[in-house]
Structure 1
Amino acid sequence: MILQTVIRSGPVRGLETATPGIAAFKGIPYAKAPVGDYRWKAPVAPEAWENERLCDDFGPSCWQPDNSVLPSFKRMQELNPMPPRPLVMDEDCLSLNVWTPAESSDERLPVMVWFYGGGLQAGTSDDILFDGEGLCRFGVLLVTVNYRTGVFGYFGHPALEAENEEHSCGNYGLRDQIFALQWVKDNIAAFGGDADNVTIFGCSGGGRSVQGVACSPLGGGLVQHAICHSAGGLNPHYSMEYEPLKALGEEFVAYCGKKSIAQMREIPARELQTLYESFRKQFNITGDGYVLPYVMDEIVRRGEQADIDYLLCTMQDELIFPAKTPVSLENFDSLRNTFGLRTSILGRVVTPRSDEEAMDVVERAEAYEMKASQLAWAQVQAQQPKKPVRLGTFVHPVPSHEDGSARHGDDQAYVFHTLFKFWYPYGEKDEALSQRLMRYWTNFAKTGDPNGEGLPLWTPYTVDSPLTLTIDTDDCRMEDRSHFIIEQVAAAYRENRRG
């Protein structure tokens, strides 16, 4: 077991975990604190240290709303029998965590790097869901990364563009992730990891980050495989056009009552976060011309994403928002506008054939768009001379939901084998499915192919065989999961018909 090692910044000491043979190093700084003049700048290497650094606790989370968890995650927190860990936030938040099963630094084990979700507005690696012991039992290293979100991670402004030699702005959170991957390239061998066999994976905003890394020329050579949980794809609303981002930045500066970026950098972090929340508009990943040459859906459509192996997975039910107003064919058009851009895309490309279908479109708009965006990516890439892409849909009823649904983010506890850190009575089938997913995911990290002895075959999605793996315990098989609404929305994404 590795409990002491030396990285480029200096010597570090980790701690033994509850699982024999697995060590954890928590809160390792991978970049200098992005404070003061470093706010809204690309990350830079941290100051080196000479004395051994004890890495036994997570670093602070990056600034975000105090209530910044999705309903499904809140439900998981309710089921956690342990006292809640307070969310400690600080602008000095660029740290990462390493779990390793390696016996010495001479080993070269595959590396999995996790980006948390939260819509690029929130999230933290300090989460009971993302404990690394489960995956490490299968012979991989796990790295979880803190990165800037919200106004700290994706704010853009013409003055920021003018002050740097790349003549771009925004995407600071994405740059953090790429910088962390460079840290992995430079340092992971000290923990027994293989710097040339790295898999990135993430859920929701973390999945969008995976796509961002795959679409960025700055990420070239840092990643060999990628897994997107419930995100990514060709949905144009998953990234912002560059000029509107900068215009929104100018609007936000005026909203804050400031006249310059220098004044904006003087705003205390907590106050800036509060102002951003009251602004009620969000900054997002953008095609800035440097980190991302164009918006992400256009990069994939052009075939300029990294030529690596992909797993794209969604949940059976994803995000469902019950309509408070009855929806019918008669009032569908008016409600389409009321519900905003996401639903209007559906409303423009889908013509409901019944009152029930009209209600379904409104309530499941987010879910359909998420599934369609993943499908469209697979359909486009299947026609390109690229490495394989595989699709999966998690359909197993999750016991923590009374209706037996499988919702956005539910798969994370299965992938990390953290189900039993919660007191809800998960059963033998849940344990079996968790073991199956960990084998798929770690096989994929090792070779780019998730298949292995005793596992149902997971074939690539191709033009001639457009199949998806149905992920369940009793009935896990490849099948055609085409759906009237999803297919129409996916076609709109493939053809770049923006809402």
Structure 2
Amino acid sequence: MPAMPSGAATVHEPAARRRSASSLRRPILGVVLTAALLASAPPGDASADPVRPAADTMSSRADILRSGKDRTLVRTTLGPIVGRDEGRSNGTYSWLGIPYAEPPVGDLRWRPPKPHRPWTGVRPAQRYGSGCAQPGRFFSPSPNGPFYDLAVRDGLRQPVGAEDCLTLNVFRPATSRRDLPVVFFVHGGSNVVGYSADPMYDGRELANRAQAVVVTANYRVGVFGWLDAEGLGGGDPLSASGNFGTLDLVEALRFVDRNAEKFGGDSDNISVMGQSAGAVNVWSLLVSPLARGMVDKAIPLSGGLSTRSVADARAYAGRVLRAVRSEHPAPDLSDIALLRSLPADDLVRVLVKHQLDATPAVIADGTVIPSDPYGVLASGVGRDVPVLAGNTLEEGKLFGSAIGAHKPTDYDRFTMQYLFDPERPGTLTTSDLLNDEYLPVDRPGGWNDAAAALTESVFTGINRNSLDALASSGNRSLYHYRFDWNQQPAPFDEVYGAVHAIDLPFVFRTFDRNVFSYAFSRQNRPGRLRLSDLMIASIRNFVHEGSPQHRGLGRTWDRWPTSLILDADDRNVHLGSTTDR
């Protein structure tokens, strides 16, 4: 096995030193941010404790430090870590649960992330960190920890995750190659739920096949990530912004920028990728002055530039406070002291009870996020950033509950999908999953039409607006795909089809147990694997060269406003194009 390209033998100068003093990687507001910030088990193994160890439990591992023989030993800017060597079985090295910021608990709740204090001993990085505190939904972690299992259904509408959650994970090929492109992935979940340990985001296959360093990060979500309450800032514009989840991502991205070379990556070639709310956050990072210069390429999937006003955020914070006081009267405490005094689980319970868990995010506060983000985008910010965006054809079919289309409760629907065997579909029918008013699905006004309206209003419209704004600035490196694959066994081909997020298992090549396991059968395996190979090859070329074009496509991937259609039957890939506006 080749030696691991870690920081064990060579100390590299920070990436920022390789850039001129006028580099955009040193934005004006960066001084403000810096001042404010200064004041793990293998994937899917639910039997092991996933929570990262405290600093005082770290092994000294002096023998490893002296010998440098552990291929996964990396000396980060915060301290040395040892990860997992899966070179023989999987062809990758991985580091899980790396803390990039102090736990945002106590007085650090609703404050900008504070860089994690350095450690001296070798820190094990072999277990995923906890998902962030959130109300349980389909894409939340299990109550048992950062796992996907049947217990996820038992956490629906219950507090799951933990506030001590600001960790990230790194995956790279088990080779000695250096200067690999970096893919920084931001999970979705409406900016309310989600976690980096979701098995769909396992970065090993993508890292190996794309020959890239893949990073997946946790960030504060829901009310912990976005809250603009009166008096919260205390004179600090970053705290007053309410954009704590965005600030977490900026800090995680800064850690990646500073440490990319330690993992064999190129800090001058960081592609920020995200899906759904993660894509919203990608666009937010693109316009935020705090992340300026750290986004070299962007891959926003199923999401566009979307913000909420300060007035909306303030009104929401007022409703939260009134709900909290109704459940936890505390006349001797100020509003902020009361909010900070509640355990995270109690706060989540209040929000769920009062139907306040859908947090306004991202907030156009004028400091972290510009007051006119579309104006900033059109003005030329991001003109030189290549963008590979995507949508699925039937995004809206994931959100039938919002319009009363899904017949079972979320608890029962999760159970049906989790237990469904795609090799033995049984007797489950479309009418078991959809209410009669939406049947048959292809009639005028039926499920297909209703879902198409959701797709346009929530996803494709805003994605179109975002790409058009960037195109108007002079960006000529814009690409878009439409994902049409719908080869699931019946009845899921009709109920979900090319649904929101189903392209992610193709992007990461994660077809094992996850929320879409019902879709992947032996019958459709040849076609979907070929489609996955083609998509990863396009991502590989994009992160290396700035274009998704590669010989395997057998055709030209035209620039936006043309979209490449990605599809496959049970055996073969089918490509097309559209300029539908």
Name the TM tier (shorter chain). 0.7 to 0.9
CA–CA distance in structure 2, aligned partners of residues 420 and 412 of structure 1: 12
Question: Of 306, 310, 313, which aligns to 1:245?
Answer: 313
Is residue 280 of structure 1 aligned with residue 355 of structure 2? Answer: yes
What is the letter of the counterpart of residue 390 of structure 2?
C
Query: CA RMSD for the aligned pairs?
Result: 2.7
Question: Of 89, 93, 97, which aligns to 1:27?
Answer: 97
Determine the structure 1 residue equivalent to 2:388.
311
Determine the structure 1 residue equivalent to 2:132.
62
Is residue 157 of structure 1 aligned with residue 229 of structure 2? Answer: yes
CA–CA distance in structure 1, aligned partners of residues 470 and 574 of structure 2: 24
Deviation at 1:108, TM superposition (A): 1.1
Distance 1:157 1:365, change over 3 A: same
CA–CA distance in structure 1, aligned partners of residues 225 and 453 of structure 2: 27
Q: Is the 2:301–2:390 contact (alpha carbons within 8 Å) kept by the matching residues of 1?
A: yes
Deviation at 1:283, TM superposition (A): 2.6
Q: Is the 1:27–1:96 contact (alpha carbons within 8 Å) kept by the matching residues of 2?
A: yes
What is the letter of the counterpart of residue 454 of structure 2?
E
Distance 1:25 1:384, change over 3 A: same
In structure 2, the gaps of 5 or more residues are 5-70, 143-147, 406-442
Determine the structure 2 residue equivalent to 1:496.
none
CA–CA distance in structure 1, aligned partners of residues 110 and 556 of structure 2: 42
CA–CA distance in structure 2, aligned partners of residues 359 and 141 of structure 1: 41
Question: Of 493, 510, 525, which aligns to 1:402?
Answer: 493
Determine the structure 2 residue equivalent to 1:386.
475
Deviation at 1:408, TM superposition (A): 0.3
What is the letter of the counterpart of residue 134 of structure 2?
Q
CA–CA distance in structure 1, aligned partners of residues 199 and 137 of structure 2: 16
Distance 1:37 1:460, change over 3 A: farther
Q: Is the 1:102–1:191 contact (alpha carbons within 8 Å) kept by the matching residues of 2?
A: no
SS for the counterpart of 1:93 is coil
Distance 1:21 1:459, change over 3 A: closer
Determine the structure 2 residue equivalent to 1:14.
83
Deviation at 1:381, TM superposition (A): 2.5
Distance 1:304 1:166, change over 3 A: same
SS for the counterpart of 2:552 is coil
Question: Of 441, 451, 455, which aligns to 1:367?
Answer: 455
CA–CA distance in structure 2, aligned partners of residues 416 and 109 of structure 1: 17
Determine the structure 2 residue equivalent to 1:77.
none
Deviation at 1:133, TM superposition (A): 1.6
| Equivalence map 1:32-431=2 (5 Å) | 32-69=102-139, 89-101=161-173, 103-104=175-176, 107-138=178-209, 139-166=211-238, 168-233=240-305, 238-257=306-325, 259-281=334-356, 282-294=359-371, 296-305=373-382, 307-320=384-397, 321=400, 356=444, 362-369=450-457, 370-399=459-488, 401-403=492-494, 405-421=497-513, 422=517, 424-425=520-521, 426-431=524-529
Deviation at 1:264, TM superposition (A): 1.1
Structure 1-normalised TM-score?
0.81
Is residue 470 of structure 1 aligned with residue 540 of structure 2? Answer: no
SS for the counterpart of 1:69 is coil
Distance 1:432 1:35, change over 3 A: same
SS for the counterpart of 1:49 is coil
Shifted more, 402-411 versus 24-33: the winner is 402-411
Structure 2-normalised TM-score?
0.70
SS for the counterpart of 1:239 is coil
Per-residue deviation, residues 124-183 of structure 1 (Å, max 9, x unmatched): 011111111211223111100000000000111121234314573211111111111100
Distance 1:411 1:24, change over 3 A: same
Deviation at 1:405, TM superposition (A): 1.5
CA–CA distance in structure 2, aligned partners of residues 293 and 394 of structure 1: 32
Q: Is the 1:299–1:305 contact (alpha carbons within 8 Å) kept by the matching residues of 2?
A: no
Q: Is the 1:10–1:51 contact (alpha carbons within 8 Å) kept by the matching residues of 2?
A: yes
What is the letter of the counterpart of residue 454 of structure 1?
G
In structure 1, the gaps of 5 or more residues are 75-79, 326-354, 488-499
Distance 1:265 1:305, change over 3 A: farther
What is the letter of the counterpart of residue 42 of structure 1?
P
Deviation at 1:297, TM superposition (A): 4.0
CA–CA distance in structure 2, aligned partners of residues 213 and 359 of structure 1: 35
CA–CA distance in structure 1, aligned partners of residues 574 and 212 of structure 2: 25
CA–CA distance in structure 2, aligned partners of residues 314 and 61 of structure 1: 26
Identity %: 27
Determine the structure 2 residue equivalent to 1:3.
72
CA–CA distance in structure 1, aligned partners of residues 324 and 119 of structure 2: 38
